[in-house]
Amino acid sequence: MSIKLDRQFLKGFLEESEVQAIAADLEKAQHDLTNKTGTGSDFLGWTDLPSSIDDGLIDELTELGKDVRLNSDCIVSIGIGGSYLGIKATLEYLRDSSHTPVYYAGHNMSVDYTYELLENLKDKNFTVIVISKSGTTTEPALAFRLIKEVMKEKYSEEEMQKRIICVTDGAKGALRKTADAKGYRTYVIPDDVGGRFSVLTPVGLVPLACAGVDIKALVDGARAGEKEYSSTDLNSNTCLQYAASRYLLYKKGKVIEMQASFYDNMQYVSEWWKQLFGESEGKDGKGIFPASTVLSTDLHSMGQLMQDGMRNIFETFIEVETSNHELIIPEEADNLDDFNCVAGRDLDWVNTQAHKATAEAHFEGGVPNMTITLGKADAFHLGQLYYFFERAVGITGYLLGVNPFNQPGVEAYKKKMFALLGK
């Protein structure tokens, strides 16, 4: 049930003694995270979030979800950044046809996308979940305005009250004011958890529960992760090993980390990971550049460069031990494609061989790589993985000497944009 980490293909690039040599730094990083004594400690609410979540809230949100699904064909989730990626990543990863469809809005300003969404909503019964700490982030604020126009054509003010749920600040901000004035239901975003760490707060849990996700399992996985990955034991804690290895590879000039999974449903988990890692580490002129591929698809696009290009890359594979389905490859009498050698095998077995071959070939080509293995593609293991990555980036952020919990750089374009908008 634990996440496994295979580091055999770091050999020659990074020795175990080098990891052991920074054991004291790793221990300090863990203590500073657990005791909330490090840089950016105002935003360390995520470290013990899983164990602090009240089971009563989980039950309440599960009931809320049942109510919402009774009167809604679909859900519109309005949010951007951390108020979008965790939700999208979870739903895409689980890809469960019994979930109520979730449409996203306010995560871009593509007019054609938004136009088509609004047209589509005109014929549907839907519930809107608006997720914004301030209520003044441009994309979700404008999307909320546009969607309310569609709702006004369909629903009474009373009905709109039932169909709008706000996830926002507990006391202040435009969305809080709107919700209080209009009587919309609200759920609170804690002050000490930043957007990119918020998937297990109401930011993620409210829309996921409404879609029908087993949020109890997701939280339980994160609880297991919290217990395991808060440990300071370098020999057993795979999260510490991963964090230390990537930090040391970076110091040796491996400035790009390629996260590579062999499952198409992992695509948005990688997008979530890219925000978490890029926004936490990419500052003060430092930070690993996070990139992602879905294999074997992208072996036929980025594979050449991975094998033979600039040697400034390391790779982290993600593997899932058990698939949800089985697909046996049929035998063919004429065997023109010469694949009867795998007839009778499960397709997943072939996929696993592709992973083994790729890890070894890239290693021999000069790309050090690790493999993270999850037990199963379900909510529990995803919750565990979320915590694994959150903890890991807290550790490498401290090793890098940055504040992993702020994002001062995102204000630069906003200031210029507000000036152009006349705001």
Q: How many CA atoms are closer than 13 Å to the CA of 177, on its beta-carbon side?
A: 6
List 300, 325, 326, 411, catalytic entry:
300
**Shortest distance (Å) from residue 81 CB to a second copy:** 3
**Shortest distance (Å) from residue 340 CB to a second copy:** 10
Active site (annotated) includes residue 279:
yes
Q: What is each CA distance from 194 to 47, 65, 75, 83, 272, in whole angstroms?
A: 11, 25, 24, 10, 14
List 257, 271, 279, 281, catalytic entry:
279
Integer Cα distance of 282 and 353 in angstroms? 34
**Shortest distance (Å) from residue 207 CB to a second copy:** 17
**Shortest distance (Å) from residue 294 CB to a second copy:** 7
List 66, 182, 286, 414, catalytic entry:
414
Compare residues 171 and 341 and give the one whose CB is closer to a second copy. Answer: 341
Compare residues 24 and 325 and give the one whose CB is closer to a second copy. Answer: 325
Active site (annotated) includes residue 216:
no
Compare residues 40 and 82 and give the one whose CB is closer to a second copy. Answer: 82
DSSP string covering 313-362, please? EEEEEEEEEE-SS--BPPP-SS-TTS-GGGTTSBHHHHHHHHHHHHHHHH
Compare residues 57 and 174 and give the one whose CB is closer to a second copy. Answer: 174
Residue 222 and residue 384 in contact, taking contact as beta carbons nearer than 8 Å: yes
Integer Cα distance of 306 and 310 in angstroms? 8
Look-up of token digits 């036929």: 300
Integer Cα distance of 387 and 368 in angstroms? 24
Compare residues 71 and 113 and give the one whose CB is closer to a second copy. Answer: 113
Residue 174 and residue 134 in contact, taking contact as beta carbons nearer than 8 Å: yes
What one-character DSSP code corresponds to residue 87? H
Active site (annotated) includes residue 355:
no
Q: Which two tokens stand for residue 23?
A: 């054991």
Q: How many CA atoms are closer than 13 Å to the CA of 362, on its beta-carbon side?
A: 30
**Shortest distance (Å) from residue 36 CB to a second copy:** 22
Catalytic residues, which ones?
279, 300, 414
